[in-house]
Chains A and B, each alone.
Chain A
Amino acid sequence: MGIEARVDGGVLSIKISGRFDFGVHNEFREATKLVESGVKLIEVDLNGTEYLDSSALGMLLVLRDKMAGDKSAIRIKNSRTEVKKILEIANFDKLFTLS
């Protein structure tokens, strides 16, 4: 449960397990700080994410803000059906690279 984040060769990998909502915002903020260590690409792995709410979407937007709004700089991958649906409703494919 929670957030795992590490930087490897300019790539920041963030894995979110369990519920991705306001409950993890402190952990996510810590992970977001890692962007400042010269990260070129962010991979957000939602394989273990069971649920995602609008405050999670807000956290992803902060990440995007840190990457100066560059769509190709953030990849969101391995979303489950329910999670993918929420990302689709928000049309986040226009803001992030979804795979």
Chain B
Amino acid sequence: MNHPNPFPLPAQTFVVLLEDAGANSNADTLQGVLRAQDFRCAVATTTEEVIELLTGAPVDLLIIACRDWPWRQVADIRDAADSYLPIILIADDLTDTLLDHCATVEIDAVICRPVNQHLLLLKIRSSLKLRMLYQHEHAQKTQLLDYWQTSDLEHEVAAKLFNDVLKADFLETEAVAVVMSPMALFNGDLVLVAKTPENHLHVLLGDFTGHGLSASIAATPLADIFYGMTRKGFDINEIVTEINAKLYRMLPANRFLAATVVALYPESSSMKSITCGLPEHFLVNHADNSFLAIRSLNIPLGIQPSIEIEEQLHRVSENERLYLLTDGIFEAENAEGELFGGERILNAIRQSKSEDIRNLQASLEAHTGGAVQKDDNTLVILSCAVDSVPWGRREARLPRQRIAATTWKQVMEFDIDSLRLINPVPLMVNTVMEVQGLQNYRQDIFMIVSELFANALDHGVLGLDSDLKSSPEGFMHFYAMKDERLQQLQRGRIRLSFIHQATEPGGRLVVKVLDSGNGFDWRRRNSMRKRDEAYCGRGIIMLETLCSSLVYHGCGNRVTAVFDWQH
């Protein structure tokens, strides 16, 4: 209903005349005039009759022509009408008292006797127009209310759906604190947290362009990719690449996702961030109050079919906390239109480690004067307490369909050109899961294969010394060298063999890894270990804990790990 209805024909218009009882030439004249114009017409002689007519059918207009008009009852008459009832009064004299009464009960028009027919028709027309406008407005209001109710209902359903999808796999951990304003999800903000089989913690903070439900519609497939790939042990570079490609295919040109994805690697006390279009994040060391601003290095996701990821690596300790915020907090305005900004955020969060959230909220409230915000504030705090690894709990062992242990063997070999491009560990482990259904042991098997593969690549094929990683500078240097050697090396290969067989209590998986590197003096390491536990890398200790046996062969470029599992 964008335009008013056309003016109804007189034949469709019902007029009631209120006249004094008894023969009255005036009424006849008025009726005659109305009938001549084709109006449908009825005569009443009392207020009760008028009300009866009103309750019987919609009346479009009331003309009061009695000498002693019942002005006190006009309110009752109007109450009985279906919609707005315009009233024209025909009077003998326009006295002040009469006009006062007209004003009190809101009579629409008054005509003085003798009645000028043209004037009467003009007044009828404008009164009918008033009723029509009122009806039109009323219909629009009802329609709007309907829309509102429908949209509220849809929001409710959508909120439930989103919560179910996004929360189903969300890892609740003390390491990650999330503060989200109630409607932030519907303004396109989202937070996902999960861990890999190797106990790497993945966190994604995203902010879709636009507002309202359509902004967050792509959240579901995105969450599926994030949780699915993290569970399978893919690294965040691969996850970001996949999310970007998916969003590029899904979203129209003007829509994208500004996001940051972070991975925390407890075993190397390090963190990697991939920043795509969100305002800067702060890595605060609460021990010495120093901080690092982590800037966005990449374009938002979903714009280009593929992206060249620029990542950032950081050494972290238990003193560090990472603060990720969406632009809603940065852009919160005070009364003068001044933005809250990064400096105020930093001042608030650096005051105290334990009160960081409260201080930030208090400072934000003081700035905005408690004014209602656009309601799209999301804050994520990642505690980098790598040594206590608070998220590193084992997943509950789910009852699964038991698959009988079978005998099989799989060998795959990767040359340097494929090692440059892919990490085969998630693929290989998933194959083992498919064949033998060892979901309950996914984490253990993943850690074994991943550790063996990393050793073969870093120390075997690439010949990097793990001692390099012990200092912060060396740590960065290590990864820079790894990148460089991977690109430059012409030759190199890794062969992974999986051999599985049944045993009395369950099954045995033997993993053999061979690399083209020079190996290492494992005999010396064995004797060193007896004297100095701390000398060995954390990785090998972990392998020895998980495996029934771990044996190096030859010059140290071959290793055999045995993993036994039980029904």
Residues of A within 8 A of B (CB): 54-55, 57-59, 61-62, 64-65, 69, 88-92, 94-95
Contacts and interface: CB of A to CB of B under 8 A. Distances in A.
B278 A89 contact: yes
B303 A61 contact: yes
Contacts of A88: 296
Contact of A89 (B253, B256, B279): B279
A55 B210 contact: yes
Nearest to A93: B299
A90 to B, nearest CB: 5
Listed from nearest, the 6 A-B pairs whose CB atoms lie closest are A58-B254, A65-B253, A54-B209, A90-B277, A91-B299, A62-B253
Given A89-B279, A90-B277, A95 B303 contact: yes
A88 B300 CA distance: 11
Contacts of A54: 207, 209-210, 258, 327
B209 A90 contact: no
Choose among A54, A61, A64, A90 the residue with the greatest number of B CB atoms under 10 Å from its CB. A54
23 contacts: A55-B209, A55-B210, A57-B209, A57-B256, A57-B300, A58-B209, A61-B254, A61-B256, A62-B253, A62-B254, A64-B253, A65-B253, A89-B258, A89-B279, A89-B295, A89-B296, A90-B258, A90-B277, A90-B299, A91-B277, A91-B296, A95-B299, A95-B304
A88 B297 CA distance: 9
A25 B420 CA distance: 45
Interface of B: 207, 209-210, 253-256, 258, 276-280, 295-300, 303-304, 327
A88 B433 CA distance: 44
> SS class of chain A's interface: helix, strand, loop or mixed?
helix
B244 to A, nearest CB: 13
Contacts of A59: 254
A95 B308 CA distance: 13
Contacts of A64: 253
Given A55-B210, A61-B303, A89-B296, 19 more contacts: A54-B210, A54-B258, A55-B209, A57-B209, A57-B256, A58-B255, A58-B256, A61-B256, A62-B253, A88-B296, A89-B258, A89-B279, A90-B277, A91-B276, A91-B277, A91-B296, A91-B298, A94-B299, A95-B304
Nearest to A57: B209
B299 A92 contact: yes
Contacts of A62: 253-254
A95 B300 CA distance: 11
A62 B255 CA distance: 9
A85 B469 CA distance: 36
Contacts of B278: 89
Contacts of B298: 91
Contacts of A65: 253
Nearest to B307: A94
Contacts of A91: 276-277, 296-299
B296 to A, nearest CB: 5
A64 B417 CA distance: 35
Contacts of B258: 54, 89-90
Contacts of B277: 89-91
A54 B209 CA distance: 6
Contacts of B280: 89
Nearest to A25: B254
Contacts of A58: 209-210, 253-256
A91 B297 CA distance: 7
B476 to A, nearest CB: 22
A95 B253 CA distance: 13
Contacts of A90: 258, 277, 296, 299-300
Contacts of B279: 89
B296 A55 contact: no
Contacts of B295: 89
Contacts of B256: 57-58, 61
B83 to A, nearest CB: 36
B78 to A, nearest CB: 42
Contacts of A94: 299
Contacts of A55: 209-210, 254
Nearest to B209: A54
Contacts of B300: 57, 90
A95 B299 CA distance: 8
Contacts of B297: 91
A65 to B, nearest CB: 4
Contacts of B303: 61, 95
A91 B277 CA distance: 7
A4 to B, nearest CB: 21
B30 to A, nearest CB: 53
Contacts of A57: 209, 256, 300
A86 B251 CA distance: 21
Nearest to B280: A89
Contacts of B253: 58, 61-62, 64-65
A88 B279 CA distance: 10
Choose among B253, B254, B280 the residue with the greatest number of A CB atoms under 10 Å from its CB. B254
A9 to B, nearest CB: 27
B135 to A, nearest CB: 31
Nearest to B310: A91
B411 to A, nearest CB: 42
Nearest to B210: A55
A35 B254 CA distance: 16
Choose among A58, A62, A88 the residue with the greatest number of B CB atoms under 10 Å from its CB. A58
A91 B280 CA distance: 12
A83 B325 CA distance: 19
Choose among B207, B299, B303 the residue with the greatest number of A CB atoms under 10 Å from its CB. B303
Nearest to B339: A82
Nearest to B188: A54
